[in-house]
């Protein structure tokens, strides 16, 4: 586990990371010659830059946990994420953001982000995955940020919802979304060498999932409901030690793509099938060339094998602890992943409150 004493968190990243800047310009350092970057693809130093962005958003949102005002919490997180994102050495375009420009003036789809000096990348952001969770003080709210090489992310604009299944690496080669729920649960049970009665299947608590929940229980498995934020649920299903063995059900297509970026580093899989909500959306998908019967794999959702995912806990959850306060310190826990190396890091960071007054004062 990595621990950071981060006095520099409140200042622009470029002033605190000169070695990273040198490497992003292609200069070698005495640390390792392979840190030089061609400028056309993201390098491994980008990972820690991303986690500083999610830390900022989580700290800003954490100030509003439990106050019942999800819009104010989300606005604070968006503002903090946007400010810190502009210090990241990348030439990014937001593929998955807060919506269209007219509806969300910050982090809108198609916006250029980063300082413009680094590699060209697709960017997926969610300052708060779980705004209602944050407002009500419930578990599993995260700030998330994913990056992949330009053109690698699936375009989610035609259909907002997707039927999903996520499992970890042990069961990845056995399950298939086209199979009955009961059969997939038994395949996961066999792969994990675990009785079906001990399996926990994560499902968004929605009326549309009544039949799915019944099928899961009839197969002998247990249902673990989540209110919102199926990015956290999906990653938990692919990670060891979370007490989540599988995620099933219909959730947002953008969240599926963000989850796929994380799963690239875990060895698990996500499978998805587009789920239009009405005839008009179905026709838009057909017009866009989508096969609505096709099962999309992890590689369909994110084509690149060089992508990054960072998340910081806002509230406590299956993956991460939430933002904590200790006198003059703010403490965060984050997860940062890089698919090319298969590396997953858990980052505990301490931030001096005086550096964060802008985000912590009412």
Band (21; pLDDT cuts 50, 70, 90): very low
> Model pTM?
0.84
Name, in order, each residue with C-beta under 8 angstroms of 266's C-beta and a sequence gap of 6 or more: 168, 169, 235, 238, 239, 337, 344
Q: Is 255 annotated as a binding residue?
A: yes
pLDDT of residue 32: 27
Q: Where in the chain is the domain with CATH 3.40.190.90?
A: 161-301
pLDDT of residue 25: 32
Q: Is 131 annotated as a binding residue?
A: yes
pLDDT of residue 345: 92
pLDDT at 335 over 70: yes
pLDDT at 259 over 50: yes
pLDDT in tens, 137-166: 999 999 999 999 999 999 888 899 999 999
Q: Is 161 annotated as a binding residue?
A: yes
Q: Is 67 annotated as a binding residue?
A: no
pLDDT in tens, 202-223: 999 999 999 999 999 999 999 9
Question: For residue 8, with 0-12 CB atoms within 10 Å meaning exposed, 13-18 middle and 19 or more buried, which class applies?
Answer: middle
Q: Is 74 annotated as a binding residue?
A: yes
Q: Is 229 annotated as a binding residue?
A: yes
The reply to whether CATH 3.40.50.300 applies to domain 41-151+307-359 is: no
Structure tokens at 112: 């250029």
Indicate the CATH number of 161-301 among 3.40.190.90, 3.40.50.1980, 3.40.50.300, 3.40.50.460: 3.40.190.90
CB atoms within 10 A of CB 206: 15
Could you identify the residue written with the tokens 């491994």?
44
pLDDT of residue 23: 31
- Averaged pLDDT, 71-86: 92
Contact 242, 236 (CB under 8 A): yes
What DSSP string runs through 87-137? TSSSEEEEEESSS-TTT-SSS-TT-EES-SSS-EEEEEEEEEE-HHHHHHT
Q: Is 137 annotated as a binding residue?
A: no
Q: How far apart are CA 317 and CA 110, in angstroms?
A: 31
Q: How far apart are CA 111 and CA 124, in angstroms?
A: 11
Q: Where in the chain is the domain with CATH 3.30.540.10?
A: 41-151+307-359
pLDDT of residue 36: 31
Q: Is 291 annotated as a binding residue?
A: no
pLDDT of residue 185: 98
Q: Is 228 annotated as a binding residue?
A: yes
């Amino acid at each position: 586990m990595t621990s950071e004493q981060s006095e520099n968190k409140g200042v622009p990243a470029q002033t605190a990371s000169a070695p990273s800047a040198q490497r992003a310009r292609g200069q070698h350092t005495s640390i390792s010659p392979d840190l030089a970057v061609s400028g056309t693809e993201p390098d491994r130093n980008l990972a820690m830059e991303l986690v500083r962005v999610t830390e900022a958003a989580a700290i800003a949102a954490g100030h509003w946990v439990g106050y019942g005002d999800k819009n104010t919490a989300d606005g604070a997180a968006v503002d903090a994420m946007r400010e810190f994102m502009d210090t990241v050495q990348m030439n990014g375009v937001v593929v998955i953001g807060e919506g269209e420009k007219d509806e969300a003036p910050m982090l809108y789809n198609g916006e250029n982000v980063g300082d413009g000096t680094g590699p060209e990348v697709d960017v997926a952001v969610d300052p708060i995955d779980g705004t209602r969770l944050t407002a009500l003080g419930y578990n599993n709210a995260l700030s998330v940020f994913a990056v992949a090489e330009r053109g690698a992310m699936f375009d989610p604009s035609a259909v907002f919802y997707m039927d999903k299944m996520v499992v970890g690496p042990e069961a990845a080669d056995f399950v298939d979304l086209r199979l009955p729920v009961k059969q997939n649960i038994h395949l996961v049970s066999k792969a994990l060498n675990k009785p079906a009665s001990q399996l926990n299947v994560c499902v968004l608590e929605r009326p549309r999932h009544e039949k799915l929940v019944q099928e899961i229980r009839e197969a002998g498995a247990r249902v673990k409901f989540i209110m919102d934020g199926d990015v956290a649920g999906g990653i938990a299903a692919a990670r060891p030690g979370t007490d989540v063995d599988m995620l099933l059900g219909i959730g947002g297509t953008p969240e599926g793509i963000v989850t796929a970026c994380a799963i690239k580093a875990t060895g698990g899989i996500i499978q998805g099938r587009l789920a239009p909500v009405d005839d008009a959306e179905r026709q838009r998908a057909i017009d866009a060339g989508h096969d609505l019967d096709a099962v999309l794999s992890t590689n369909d959702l994110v084509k690149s094998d060089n992508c990054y995912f960072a998340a910081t806990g806002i509230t406590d959850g299956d993956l991460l602890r939430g933002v904590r306060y200790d006198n003059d310190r703010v403490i965060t826990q984050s997860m940062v992943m890089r698919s090319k190396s298969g590396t997953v890091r858990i980052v505990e960071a301490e931030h001096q409150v005086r550096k964060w007054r802008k985000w912590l004062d009412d």
